[in-house]
Amino acid sequence: MTLIHFAILLPVIAAVFIGVLYRYYKDVHLGWFVLPVPVLIVAYLFTLIPTVSSNQVIFESMQFMPRIGMNFDVYIDGLSLLFAILISGIGALVVLYSIGYLSHYEKLGNFYVYLLIFMTAMLGVVLNDNVLMLYLFWELTSISSFLLIAFWFNRERSIYGAQKSMLITMFGGFLMLGGFISLSLITDTFSIRGMMEQIPAIQENALAPLAIILILFGAFTKSAQFPFYVWLPDAMEAPTPVSAYLHSATMVKAGLYVVARFTPLFAFSELWVWAILLIGLVTLVWAAFNAVKQDDLKAVLAFSTVSQLGLIMSLLGIGALGVHSGASEQVFTIAVVAAVFHLINHATFKGALFMIIGIVDHETGTRSLKRLGGLMTIMPISFTMTVITSLSMAGIPPFNGFLSKELFLEAMFSISEADFSVLADVSVLFPILAIVGSIFTLVYSIILIRGIFLGKTQPETPKEPKEAPMLMLISPIVLTVLVIVFGLFPNILSGTIIDPAAMGILNTSEPLNTEISHWHGWDSPALWGTVAIVVIGALMYLFRNTWMPVYRFGNKIFTINNLYDQGLMYSRLGAEKITDGYMSGYIRSYLVYIFTGFAVLAVITMINTDMTFEWDTASAITIPEVAIMLIILAALIAILVTASRMVSIIMFSVIGFSLSLLFVFFRAVDLALTQLAVEAILTSLFLLAFFHLPKRARHEERKRFRLNNMIISVAVGATSIIFGIAAYSNRLFDSISQFYIDNVYDLASGGNMVNVILVDFRGMDTLFETLVFGLAGLGVFILLRLRVNRKGENEFEEHA
Amino acid sequence: MEILVIILAGILIGASVYLMLSKSLLRIIIGTGVLSHGILLMLLTMGGLKRGGIPVLDDSVQSYSDPLPQAMLLTVIVITFALTAYMLVIAIRVYKELGTDNVENMKGVPRDDD
Amino acid sequence: MNLKSTLKKLGYAKVHKQMNDVFLKYTAKVVFLIIITFSINLFFSGHYTPGGGFVGGLLAAAAIVLLLLAYDLKTINKMIPFDHKWLIALGLTLSVFVPLVLMIFGQPFFTHQALYIELPIFGEVPIHTAVFFDVGVYITVAATTLLIITLLATEQAMSDSEGADRS
C-alpha cells in the first residue's frame, strides 16, 4: 500500500464518506465535497511528471491474491501518466461544471458516488501492470458508465442507452478477458511487463492470433469503433457532464490505451496492425459522414467523438506498422506523437464542446438544431468558445487541433510514399480517406457554430435563453484556454508529456526530442491537404442542400442499430422459448430433473471409472452408535407416514438432535455443538411458525403419483449409497487435510483445527458464508414485511 | 461402521427426495432439512470415522480426525439453518397469500399484471 | 407468551393454567446468564478448543430465544435496543474490514497475524487478528438468527391479536 495505490483508491474511499455527507449537509451542493478528490489526485500526478519525463518508470507492487498471480501492481510510464492526468484533470473540471449543471433536486448522492467509482476504475485501468486487475477495473468502468447513463432512470431512452452500452462493452470486455487469459497461458504471467519480455514466445505460439482478436474486441467495443460504435450515440442520454467525461474524454479512450499498451507486444502480427489501421480509418470516415446529418447537438458530438477516436486508432495503427517493420523510422514516430497529441487535444476541445452544448441545453431547454439559432448576441461567451473549439476540431490554425491534424495528414501521406510491398496497391487510399473524413469534420463543425449561434433567432425555445452562470462557464473556459495555449505553444507538451507517452507506446528508451512546428514549408503535402479540406469543406457546406438528400438513400433496415435491436429481441425470444420448454412452473418437475439427473450421472460415472469396493479399513461398530442410528430411522419413518404437522416437526428435531449425538461419537465436537444450537433454534422457529403453517402435513396423493416418487427416491437413495461406498473406498489423491493439521500452529498459531480452517485457512469461504447468512436474514425480513400498497408501490409494514 | 453410516445417509437422502416430491409445503421444507442431514453424514464419513482424537492440537495425541470435512460441514449446518428458516418463511407467506399449501395448485393462481 | 399461545391453540388449556410464570421467568433469567456466558466462553476459546464464532453466535441467539419464550417480545426489544438489521450490517462490515486492514500492512488478502502481549493479571495473552474476523461472524450469526426469530414472533403476536379481535 503506497501513496500511488492510495491515490487510485481515493475516489472510492471518498465515495463512502460522500454518501454519509449527503444525508447531513443538504444545503451545500454535494459537488463541493467531491471536488477536492480529483484536484488532489491531479496535483499528486503532476509531481510525478519530472520522474517520468526523465525516462524512468515507477513500479509499486501490492499483493492482493498472490496465489493466482493477481496483484495490484502499479506501473507508471509516460503513457499511463498521460491518461491518469487526463482522467483526474478533466474529472476535476467536470465535477466543477456539474455543480452548476445538476440542481439540488437531482439524486446527487448517487451521481457523485457513481462518478467517483468511475474515477477509481479508470485510474485502475491505466495504472495497472496486471492484466487481471486491469480487467477488473475495466468492467468497473462499464458498470459505472451503465449507472451514470441510466441516471435519469425513469426515461425509457436512458434505460435503452444504458443497457446497450453495458451489453456491448461487457461483451467486448469478456472477450478481452479471454484474450488476457490466452496471453497468460503463453507467457505464464499476468504482468504486462513480464509479457513484453517474452515477445518471441508469443510470436511463435498458435494462440497469439486468438489473443489478438479477443483483445481487439475489447478495445474496439470500448472505444466505439466501427461497427460497435452504436452504443455511444445512445449513451448520450446521460447527463451532459457524464457525456463530457466518460463518453468523450476518458472512458472511450480506454480502448485506445489498451491498443497503445499492447502495440509493442503484438506489433509482430500483421493482423494487429491492419485491424487497427483499417477499422480506425473506416470509423473516422463513417462516423464523420453520419455526424453531418444529426439534428440533436449531442448526437453530432457523439458521432464526432467516434470519428476522432477512429482517427487516433488509425494513427496508432501506423505506429504499430512502424514497430512491425523495424521501428525508428521518422514517419511512425510522427504518427505515434500525433496520436498522443491528438488524444490530449481531443480531450480539451471535445470536453469544452460538450460542456457548451450542455449549457445551451440547460439555458434554452432544447438540443435540436432545428429549434436553435441566433444565440450569438445572447450567449457571447459560449459563442466565442464554440468558435474556438469547433475550429480546433476541424483543424483550422492556430488552434491545437490544427497541429495534430497536420501531423495526422503528414503520417497518412508518408505512408503512401513509404515502400511497402503489401501496401502498394491501396496505399493511395489512406490519405484520401483521411481527407474525406476531415472534410466532413469541417462541415459538421460549421453546422454546429451556424446552427446554434448564427442565423435568425428562434423564438420558440422551451426556455428564455440567457448566458449561463459563471460557475458553469469556468470549466469550458479553462479547456478553451488550453486549446489556444496548446495551439500556440505546443512544445510545452512535447518534452514533458507527449514524448514519454510516445516512448511508452513504441517501447523504446531513446529520447524522441519531438518538435511540433506550425509551418512545414510550401512543399509539405499536409499543408495542401489542409487547404483542400478547407476549400472543399466550405464548398460542401455552402451547397449542402444539393447533396444532403444522399442521406435518404441509406438502407433503413440493415443498419447496425437495427441489427442490435433485432438480435437482442430474437435472443430474448429464443431464450424464453427454451426456458419455457423445460420450466413447467411445477417445483416437482424441477426436482425430478435434478434427482434423475443426479442418479443417471452418478451411474454413468461409476460405470466408466474403475472402482473397487472395500471396507476392511472401516472402524468398529459399537452399540450406542447403532442405537442412535436406529432412532434416526424410526423418526424418519414417522415423518414419512404421519399426517400430523406436530409429529413431523418433532420427529425432524429428533433426527437433528440424534445427529449431534452421533457427531460426538465421531470425534466432531464443533459439529456437535453447532448442530445442537441450530437444532434448538430451528425447533423453536418451527413452533413459532406453527400457527401459520398449513393444518395438515400431507395431501391426498394418487397411487401412481406416489409410485413415481417412490421409484425416483429409491433410485436416488440407492445411487447415493453405492456412490458413497465407492468414494469411501477409493482415494484418487491425497487429502489436503494433513497440511492443515501440520500447520495449524506454525502458520495460524491456533489449536482448534476446525475453527482455524474456518477463520484463517479458508477465511474467504467463511466470509461469503456469513454474507449468505446475513442475506437470508434480510430476505426473511423482506418476505414477512414487504407488502404492495394500494398505489402499487412496495412498502414495509411497521409493527409496534 | 462407515458402511452403516453411508447406508443410513443414503436412506435419509432417499427419504428426503420422497418428501420433497410430495405436494405439501411443510413436507418439502422438512425434506430439505433431512436431505442436508443425509449429506452431512455422508460427507463426514468420506474422511473415515474415529481415526484419531478430536482435531484439537494436543501434544499427547498422535493422530487426529480429519478436520477439513468438519470445517466444511460446520458451514453446511449453519447455511442449512438459514435456508430452512428462509424456506419456512416463504412457505408462510405463500400460504397466506395463496391460501393453499398444495404446490400443484400454486401454478395458475392469477397474477394481477395491470 | 408465544409458547403459551401455541399450546393454547393446540388445546392444552390445562397446561397453560398450570404453568407457573414466576418460576419460568426466574429460571429463564438464570439459564440465560449461563448460556450467554457459555457462548462467550465458546467464542473466545474457539481458536484453541472447540467453539468459535458460529457456535457462539447461535448460542447467544438461543439464549435470547429462551428469554423470548419466558417473557415477551417487548422485553427483548427493550433489552437489545438496536435494529437487528444494523447489527447484521455491522458484523458483515467487520468481517470484510479485518482482511482489508491486513492488506494495508502489506500482507496478502486474508493473512491473519498473531501477536503475544503481556498483561498484568492474565500473563501472556495472544492477540489474534482472526479473532476480530470471528467477532464479525459472531455478530452476524447472532443478529440474523435473532432477526428471523423476532420477525416470526411479531408475525405470531399479530395474528394472535387478530384472532382475539375476531372472537
pLDDT tens sequence across C102-118: 777 666 666 777 666 66
pLDDT (0 to 100) of residue A655? 92
Domain that holds residue A607: 586-732
Nearest CA distance, C30 vs chain A (angstrom): 18
Residues of A whose CB is below 8 A from B103: 586-588
Nearest CA distance, A471 vs chain C (angstrom): 39
Residue ending a domain, choose from A694, A713, A732? A732
pLDDT (0 to 100) of residue A424? 58
Q: If we measure between CA atoms, which residue out of C49, A190, A684 comes closest to residue B85?
A: A684
Q: C51 to each of A292, A443, B52, B63, C43, how far by Cα in Å?
A: 72, 76, 19, 21, 6
pTM: 0.75
- Segment among A63-72, A73-82, A281-290, A514-523 with least mean pLDDT: A514-523
Percent of chain A with pLDDT over 70: 94
Q: Once rounded to an integer, what is the mean pLDDT over residues A520-532?
A: 79
**Considering only alpha carbons, which residue of chain B is nearest residue A599?**
B14
Neighboring chains of A (3 or more beta-carbon pairs < 8 A): B, C
Whether residue A675 lies within 8 A of chain B, CB to CB, comes out as: yes
DSSP conformational letter for A468:
P
Beta carbons of C130 and A681 less than 8 Å apart: no
Taking the C-alpha atoms of residue A451 and residue A372, their distance in angstroms, rounded to an integer, is 7
The set of cell numbers assigned to A489 is: 505553444
- Report whether A716 contacts B34 (CB < 8 A): no
- Report whether B30 contacts B81 (CB < 8 A): no
pLDDT (0 to 100) of residue B68? 84
Q: Once rounded to an integer, what is the mean pLDDT over residues A507-513?
A: 74
pLDDT (0 to 100) of residue C15? 45
Please, what sign has the CA dihedral across residues A232, A236, A237, A239?
positive
Q: C144 to each of A704, B83, C89, how far by Cα in Å?
A: 42, 12, 10
Considering its fold, how many domains does chain B have in total? 1
Q: Once rounded to an integer, what is the mean pLDDT over residues A129-155?
A: 92
**Considering only alpha carbons, which residue of chain A is nearest residue C145?**
A777
- Report whether A149 contacts A158 (CB < 8 A): yes
Beta carbons of B49 and A784 less than 8 Å apart: no
> Is the domain of A433 the same as that of A338?
yes
Beta carbons of B1 and A625 less than 8 Å apart: yes
Nearest CA distance, C79 vs chain A (angstrom): 16
Residues of B whose CB is below 8 A from C49: 56
Residues of B whose CB is below 8 A from C126: none
* Strand ranges for A407-462 from DSSP E: none
Output the domain CATH number for residue B84: 1.10.287.3510
Q: Once rounded to an integer, what is the mean pLDDT over residues A599-613?
A: 80
Residues of A whose CB is below 8 A from B59: none
pLDDT (0 to 100) of residue C160? 63
Nearest CA distance, C135 vs chain B (angstrom): 16
**Considering only alpha carbons, which residue of chain B is nearest residue C152?**
B89
Q: Once rounded to an integer, what is the mean pLDDT over residues A545-570?
A: 79
Whether residue B90 lies within 8 A of chain C, CB to CB, comes out as: no
Whether residue C108 lies within 8 A of chain B, CB to CB, comes out as: no
> Is the domain of A360 the same as that of A498?
yes
The contacts of residue A297 (CB under 8 Å, 6+ apart) are A357, A360, A361, A367, A368, A369, A372, A448, A451, A452
> Is the domain of A698 the same as that of A752?
no
Nearest CA distance, B18 vs chain C (angstrom): 28
DSSP string, C90-135: HHHHHHHHHHHHHHHTTPPTT---EEEEEETTTEEEEEEHHHHHHH
Beta carbons of B1 and A622 less than 8 Å apart: yes
Q: If we measure between CA atoms, which residue out of A642, A417, A410 comes closest to residue A529?
A: A410
pLDDT (0 to 100) of residue A218? 93
Residue ending a domain, choose from A672, A703, A732? A732
Whether residue B96 lies within 8 A of chain C, CB to CB, comes out as: no
What are the respective helix, strand and coil percentages of chain C, to the nearest 5? 75, 5, 20
Q: What is the pLDDT along chain C (167 residues), one digit of tens a residue?
A: 555 565 555 554 444 444 557 777 788 888 888 988 888 888 887 777 777 888 888 888 888 888 887 877 777 778 777 788 888 888 888 888 888 777 776 666 667 776 666 666 666 666 777 788 888 888 999 899 888 888 888 877 776 665 554 44
In a domain, B58, yes or no: no
**Considering only alpha carbons, which residue of chain A is nearest residue B71?**
A754
What would the pLDDT profile of A634-668 be if each residue is shown by its tens digit? Answer: 999 998 888 888 888 899 999 999 999 988 888 88
Q: A800 to each of A557, B14, C70, C151, how far by Cα in Å?
A: 61, 45, 20, 12
pLDDT surpassing 90 at residue A217: yes
Beta carbons of A667 and B33 less than 8 Å apart: no
Average pLDDT value for chain A: 85
Taking the C-alpha atoms of residue A768 and residue A781, their distance in angstroms, rounded to an integer, is 20
Taking the C-alpha atoms of residue A61 and residue A128, their distance in angstroms, rounded to an integer, is 10
- Report whether A639 contacts B22 (CB < 8 A): no
Beta carbons of A780 and C137 less than 8 Å apart: no
> Is the domain of A470 the same as that of A333?
yes
> Is the domain of A745 the same as that of A725?
no
> Is the domain of A391 the same as that of A338?
yes
In a domain, A579, yes or no: no
**Considering only alpha carbons, which residue of chain C is nearest residue B84?**
C148
What are the respective helix, strand and coil percentages of chain A, to the nearest 5? 75, 5, 25
The domain spans of chain C are 2-83+133-166
Complex prediction ipTM? 0.91
Taking each helix axis from N to C end, the angle separating B25-46 and B67-98, rounded to the nearest 10 degrees, works out to 170
> Is the domain of A467 the same as that of A599?
no
Nearest CA distance, C120 vs chain A (angstrom): 22
Residues of C whose CB is below 8 A from B71: none
In a domain, A8, yes or no: no
**Considering only alpha carbons, which residue of chain B is nearest residue C52?**
B74
User: Which of the residues B29, B49, B95 would you substitute to probe the A interface, choosing the one with the greatest number of A C-beta atoms within 10 Å?
Assistant: B49
Whether residue B85 lies within 8 A of chain C, CB to CB, comes out as: yes
Number of A to B CB contacts under 8 A, please give it.
266
Between A690 and A87, where is the model more confident? A87
In a domain, B57, yes or no: no
Please, what sign has the CA dihedral across residues A407, A412, A417, A419?
positive
Neighboring chains of C (3 or more beta-carbon pairs < 8 A): A, B
**Considering only alpha carbons, which residue of chain A is nearest residue C151?**
A781
Beta carbons of A688 and C144 less than 8 Å apart: no
Q: For chain C, positions 41-100, list CB contacts with chain B under 8 A.
A: 48-50, 54, 58
Beta-carbon count within 10 A of A706 CB: 13
Q: For chain C, positions 25-44, list CB contacts with chain A under 8 A.
A: 42
Whether residue A691 lies within 8 A of chain C, CB to CB, comes out as: yes
In a domain, A664, yes or no: yes
Taking each helix axis from N to C end, the angle separating A429-453 and A525-542, rounded to the nearest 10 degrees, works out to 40
Q: Once rounded to an integer, what is the mean pLDDT over residues A228-257?
A: 90
The set of cell numbers assigned to A241 is: 457532464
Q: Once rounded to an integer, what is the mean pLDDT over residues A558-569?
A: 84
> Is the domain of A774 the same as that of A716?
no
pLDDT (0 to 100) of residue A800? 41
Domain that holds residue B96: 2-49+67-103
> Is the domain of A635 the same as that of A714?
yes
Nearest Cβ partner for B56 among C50, C141, C148: C50
Between A237 and C24, where is the model more confident? A237
In a domain, A198, yes or no: no
The C-alpha cell 473466545 sits at C44
**Considering only alpha carbons, which residue of chain B is nearest residue C47?**
B56
What would the pLDDT profile of A731-768 be if each residue is shown by its tens digit? Answer: 777 777 778 777 777 776 777 788 888 877 888 888 88
Q: For chain B, positions 40-79, list CB contacts with chain C under 8 A.
A: 54, 56-57, 74-75, 78
> Is the domain of A724 the same as that of A750?
no
Beta carbons of B55 and A753 less than 8 Å apart: yes
Beta carbons of A713 and B2 less than 8 Å apart: no
Considering its fold, how many domains does chain A have in total? 3
Nearest Cβ partner for C62 among A646, A680, A690: A680
